[in-house]
Structure 1
Amino acid sequence: MRFIQSLLLIILLQSCLAQDHKINGVSYVAHKDSITQKNVDPLLNINANYAAIMPFAMIKDLNHPEVTYSEERQWFGETKIGGKQYIETLKKNSIKTMLKPQLWVWKGEFTGYIEMKTDEDWIILENSYSKFILDFAQIAQDTNTPIFCIGTELEKFIAARPDYWTKLITKIRSIYKGKLTYAANWNEYEKTPFWDQLDYIGIDAYFPVSDSKTPTVEECMEGWKSHKKKMVEFTEKYNKPILFTEFGYRSVDYSGKAPWTVDRIEDKVNLEGQVNTTKALFKMFWKEHWFAGGFVWKWFINHDRVGGLENNRFTPQNKPVEKVIKEQYSTK
């Protein structure tokens, strides 16, 4: 019975992926300007075949119910018109897209903590979030975008209002005919209740894998084992492929200890740590049949002005890890 289940899973996952190669993607950061061929060429250089387009809606604080978006003060790439322009320009270069509209809380507070204080406020949030998501679902359909992400790291919202999400997915399906996912935080995905309604199990893969100042590839691979075991069990449970909706590491000391940390102020740069953590992730996952691929965090449109050897943020651009990504994304 176990053999038959595994065989059926392999067949189903191959069908779901419907592609010869992994999703070798980048998280393409929205900008104030439209994109041109100059902005696309660096993606072609690293052999990326996907980009996550990330329009944003704003919410004033973690308890505020109204979502606002596509306002004049937003950057072009965060709007409906901008998202469409990015998708169409990338498509001309044979780069497919995942449209990933998401929320930004004022002062950058974590979206997983969004939680309303009254039922009335929950209803307002649901209505405004639905409008936001369904508008972009229509754009995904109009542009034949292959993957649509229904939300990113919204743990408390989902836990408090699971019926709303079930109904929202049904509404999205009535508009959009492509593949659906949700971007669950690394410690959230096991609690997300609606994977059976989606096509990919989406995970923002900031799992802790090493406590070392400069982790080795071997240490990180060892640190991945328990996380990977749970993922294998999860993909077998739901018969769905896993997609890393975000993955990546900062070029800092202890890069594998708490990879989700964005507000850690550092003067030092540790390029080797970023290289080793990234290599280990590729070695652990990219050859697995149940693994769909992923989107590296994060990639800016003006390649020649960002990143570099003195930069200790997430972007791989103009750092040694960019070569690691290019080599992996070249693998057939």
Structure 2
Amino acid sequence: MDGTVNGMTWGWTGVRGTWGGSEAEDSMRKMSAVGVNWVAIALGALQETAQSTKIAYGDEPTVTDDEVRWAIRQAKSLGMKVCMKPVVNCANGTWRAHIVFFQQDVPGEPSWAEWFASYTEFIVHYARIAEEEGCEMLCVGCEMVQADSRGNEWRALIAEVRKVYSGLITYNCDKYQEDRLTWWDAVDIISSSGYYPIGEWEAHLDRIEGVLKKWEMPFFFMEGGCPSREGSAQRPNDWSLPGGPSEEEQANYYRVMFEACSKREWMRGYMLWDWPARLYSAEQASQNDDYCMYGKQAEAIVRDYYTSSVHQGKEAHASQ
């Protein structure tokens, strides 16, 4: 993995009909202008509940394959490298981290074997598109905390992916889980969701550093960020936390996060969360309390950091 990941997550959740056209083009251009050199093209497909074993990735509301190809090509036309990121969600609103089955298969009950068969089909489908469109990276899972212990199944899935995809492979574990996975050697890059409370960065970076020493692998945050909302810096992973809009809360979180992470030589970068396919207007930015930093104080902080880190990265590479 060469260079710094000055990335952004684009297009979540991948709602059919929103990837393409002038609004999506405008969104991606404005994202690129923040100094972004990597983009995670993130889409969600649905299974009914946390105990369902069928992932309906071809059905609405998931974006079509043509929309996925459009987004990849648009990003590449703007000079960005692409990480394809297909994610499973539960239609009933249960967080995907709670997808779980009996540890040992029981006749008549939904099983890990059935689920992984469907999930492998889902991921391999997008792995083929990623290969055909020249995506530099593929993320094979996101925050699947209950599934993380199924190392044999993940290794088998990744082996199937490698049959059709030749780029870099990562897995996006959830926050606090970096030191709990036992199969990091099956992927090329360790990544996680870096939604850590603003006052706890050093402790968690120390812990992650221990993981990297053990596995001797590169690392970046596949997700990270903070809503522009009062109180969110203490619980940046909670998108539903009550509080009024606050650009300052978000801006200060980014300052602290960048300062802490920039001291770690092993930090390869971020795919910040997030940048929608259809942006709110700049005039609405101060009242928007979500993760997107467009038009907010944090946008300038991210742009300054990304452009300076690109410069530093080039200098470091040239000196090697």
When normalised by structure 1's length, the TM-score is 0.85
Report the more deviating stretch, 31-40 or 107-116. 31-40
Aligned equivalents of 2:93, 2:7: Cα separation in 1: 24
- Structure 1 vs Structure 2: percent identity of aligned residues? 22
Q: Which residue of 2 aligns with 1:66?
A: 54
Q: Distance in 2 between matches of 1:226 and 1:33?
A: 40
Cα-to-partner distance string for 1:248-272 (whole Å, 9 max, x where unaligned): 0011222222211122233x12221
Output aligned runs, 1:240-251, within 5 Å.
240-251=217-228
Please give the alpha-carbon distance, in whole angstroms, between the structure 2 residues aligned to 1:122 and 1:231: 29
Q: In the alignment, residue 254 of structure 2 is paired with which amino acid?
A: T
1:189 paired residue number: 178
* Map of 1:231 onto structure 2: 208
| 1:42–1:303 contact (8 Å) kept in structure 2 | no
| Per-residue CA distance 1:16-60 (angstroms, 9 max, x = gap) | x223xx111111023423335423220222111111111221011
Q: How far does the alpha carbon of each residue in 1:268-290 deviate from its partner, in whole angstroms, 9 at most, with x for none? A: 12221111111111112245331
**Structure 1: unaligned runs, 5 residues or longer:** 1-16, 211-222
The whole-number CA distance in structure 1 between the counterparts of 2:269 and 2:293 is 17
* C-alpha distance in structure 1 between counterparts of 2:203 and 2:48, whole Å: 38
2:8 paired residue among 11, 23, 26: 26
Separation (CA, whole Å) in 2 of partners of 1:139 and 1:327: 33
8 A contact 2:5–2:37 mirrored in 1: yes
- Corresponding residue SS for 2:173: strand
8 Å Cα contact 1:286-1:293 kept in structure 2: no
Shift of 1:65: 1.5
Whole-angstrom CA distance in 2 between matches of 1:264 and 1:194: 33
**Code of the aligned partner of 2:292:** T
Match of 1:177 among 150, 166, 176: 166
The count of aligned residue pairs is 297
CA distance in 1, matches of 2:26, 2:250: 26
SS of the equivalent of 2:285 reads coil
Name the CA distance, whole Å, in 2 between partners of 1:129 and 1:176: 16
Native 8 Å contact 1:65 1:116 kept in 2: no
- Give the Cα–Cα distance (whole angstroms) in 2 for the partners of residues 41 and 66 of structure 1: 36
1:100 aligns with 2:77: no
Q: Deviations over 1:54-103 (max 9, x none)?
A: 122101111111111122x225xx33222111001111111111101001
Shift of residue 192 of structure 1?
A: 1.4
Q: What is the root-mean-square deviation in Å for CA atoms of aligned residues?
A: 1.7
Contact 1:54 1:99 in 2 (8 A): yes
* Equivalence for 1:276: 252
Superposition deviation, residue 316 in structure 1: 0.9
The question of 1:200 aligning with 2:182 is answered: no
Match of 1:116 among 91, 98, 101: 101
In 2: Cα distance, 1:34 partner to 1:313 partner: 20
> What is the DSSP-based 3-state SS (H/G/I as helix, E as strand, rest coil) of the residue aligned with 2:148?
helix
- Opposite residue 191 of structure 1, the aligned amino acid is R
Farther-moved stretch of structure 1 (110-119 vs 199-208): 110-119
User: Which of residues 61, 74, 90 is equivalent to 1:89?
Assistant: 74
The letter for the 2-side match of 1:303 is L
User: Mind listing any 5+ residue stretches in structure 2 that lack a counterpart?
Assistant: 312-320
Q: Secondary structure at the match of 2:156?
A: helix
* Alpha-carbon shift at residue 304 of structure 1 (Å): 4.8
How far off is 1:112 after superposition? 0.8
1:300 is the counterpart of 2:276: yes
Residue 253 to residue 129, structure 1, CA distance change in 2 (3 Å): same
